[in-house]
Structure 1
Amino acid sequence: MRSALNRAVRGVRWYVRELTDESAYDRYAAYLRENRPGAEVPSRREFERMRTDRQEADPRQGFRCC
């Protein structure tokens, strides 16, 4: 029973992280470590700033209200 509950909680946590794209930094850091071993891995704050700047520079994103 407890293992089934733990699996369910892990599944919900995974789903929420994917839905909110919170796991994007983890995927990016893993990608850099695997494919570019000499590259410096940015902090989460630096990553979020790069991602926001890239999204705002893309004209396909449209108007951003907030």
Structure 2
Amino acid sequence: MLKHLKNFWKAVRRLSGDDAYDRYLEQYAHSHTHDDGDACAGPLSRAEFFKQWQNQKWNGIKRCC
């Protein structure tokens, strides 16, 4: 039963976008691992990530006509 509740909660968080930053960090860690020693600036902070996410969502024309 607990497994089903955890899976349900995980689905709710994904649908609502609540886990967006967690998924960003996972993707960042996966795609920014370099063996050649390239220094990256590091991932965005939670506040920077959500500010960028909101700007992408709401900036620009969002209508059909």
State the TM-score, normalized to the length of structure 1. Answer: 0.70
**Which residues of structure 1 form unaligned runs of 5+?**
none
Q: When you count helix as a share of all residues, which structure comes out higher? A: 1
Q: Distance in 1 between matches of 2:7 and 2:44?
A: 28
Equivalences, count: 57
User: What SS class does the counterpart of residue 44 from structure 2 fall into?
Assistant: coil
Q: Distance in 2 between matches of 1:46 and 1:18?
A: 20
Asked if the contact 1:32–1:39 (Cα under 8 Å) also holds between the matched residues in 2, the reply is: no
Q: 1:46 aligns with which of 37, 45, 48?
A: 48
Following superposition, the deviation at residue 39 of structure 1 comes to 4.2
Following superposition, the deviation at residue 11 of structure 1 comes to 1.3
CA RMSD of aligned residues (A): 1.6
User: What SS class does the counterpart of residue 41 from structure 1 fall into?
Assistant: coil
Question: Which 4+ runs in 1 deviate beyond 6 A?
Answer: none
Q: Distance in 2 between matches of 1:12 and 1:39?
A: 35
Q: Distance in 1 between matches of 2:53 and 2:19?
A: 13
Q: 1:36 aligns with which of 32, 35, 55?
A: 32
36-45 or 5-14: which moved more? 36-45
Identical-residue share of aligned pairs (%)? 23
**Which residues of structure 2 form unaligned runs of 5+?**
34-39
